[in-house]
Structure formats: structure tokens, C-alpha cells
């Protein structure tokens, strides 16, 4: 029964070390490193429990200590990203909102003024549709097609 206690401290140390390494890898990725705090806390708890069980059973503590140190460093790195992003957001909230609005406006403008080209091949038959119109003309053409006012061939020859 005592052998199980020796192995459990070592096993928790190994689990803590693996989790801490994963935490560290996630923590060094900008913006995504914010998520690293969760596995960091898990690794710290695993390493702490592993150290306490290793102390009771007089088993090696090196792996658990390594896991604890790496988990603490990775968690601090993750928390520092929270602080940096928080300071950045506090300092430049108006500029960030304006940048987001500009990007949204540019994307909407590009989509509205997009040119569409569709080519369908079936054996020897080829159907190609090219549309280079503004949004209102596209909506009008689609409404006319739905109502049956124009034939599909008429829209193909309109270009």
C-alpha cells in the first residue's frame, strides 16, 4: 500500500509537469495566451498535491517542483497578457472602436460592390454567369427573376 503512495506523488508530479509545459506553450502565444491561466491553475494544484504526497512518502520531488515552477511562470505570463491588453484597451478605447468601425465599413463596401463569376460545366455544356453591378441592380434582377418577368437567358446576355 505504501508503494502506491510513493507512485501517486510521482504520478501527480509528472501530470503537473506535462500540464505546465502545455500551459507554457499556450502562454507564449499572443492573445491566445489569455486562456493559459486555466491549465496553469490546474498544474499548480497538481504539483502542490504531488509535492505533499511526495513529502509523506519520502519519494523524489524534482518532477513536481519542476511542474510547479513552470506552471507559476506560465501563469504569470498569462496574467501579464491580461494586464497589457487591459492597459491598451483603457488607453485607446476610442481609437479601437474607430478601427473596428472602419474595418466593418470596408468589408461591407467590398461585399456590396463585389463582382460575381459563376461557371458550371456539365460534359460539353458550359454555363457562365458574370455580374459586375452594384447591389441595387443585383437585387432588382433577382426580384425580376423570382417574379418571372425576365428569362434567365436574358440576364446572361445582358453583360
Q: What is the mean pLDDT of the chain?
A: 79
Are 79 and 37 contacting, i.e. CB atoms less than 8 angstroms apart?
Answer: yes
**Which residues, including other chains, have CB under 8 Å from residue 61's CB and lie 6 or more apart?**
9, 13, 50, 51, 54, 55
pLDDT at 155 over 60: no
> What does the alpha-carbon distance between residue 91 and residue 86 come to, in Å, rounded to a whole number?
9
pLDDT at 25: 93
pLDDT in tens, 56-111: 777 788 888 999 999 999 999 988 888 887 777 777 777 777 888 888 888 777 76
1 or 16, which is more confident? 16
5 or 92, which is more confident? 92
The terminus-to-terminus CA distance of the chain in angstroms comes to: 85
Amino acid at each position: 500500500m505504501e508503494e502506491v503512495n510513493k507512485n501517486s506523488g510521482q504520478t501527480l508530479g509528472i501530470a503537473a509537469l506535462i500540464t505546465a509545459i502545455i500551459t507554457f506553450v499556450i502562454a507564449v502565444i499572443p492573445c491566445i495566451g489569455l486562456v493559459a491561466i486555466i491549465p496553469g491553475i490546474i498544474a499548480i494544484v497538481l504539483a502542490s498535491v504531488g509535492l505533499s504526497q511526495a513529502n509523506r512518502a519520502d519519494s523524489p520531488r524534482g518532477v513536481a517542483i519542476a511542474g510547479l515552477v513552470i506552471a507559476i511562470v506560465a501563469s504569470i505570463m498569462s496574467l501579464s497578457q491580461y494586464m497589457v491588453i487591459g492597459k491598451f484597451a483603457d488607453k485607446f478605447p476610442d481609437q479601437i472602436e474607430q478601427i473596428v468601425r472602419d474595418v466593418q465599413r470596408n468589408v461591407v463596401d467590398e461585399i456590396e460592390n463585389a463582382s460575381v463569376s459563376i461557371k458550371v460545366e456539365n460534359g460539353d455544356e458550359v454555363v457562365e454567369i458574370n455580374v459586375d453591378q452594384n447591389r441595387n441592380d443585383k437585387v432588382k434582377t433577382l426580384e425580376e427573376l423570382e417574379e418571372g418577368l425576365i428569362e434567365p437567358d436574358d440576364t446572361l446576355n445582358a453583360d
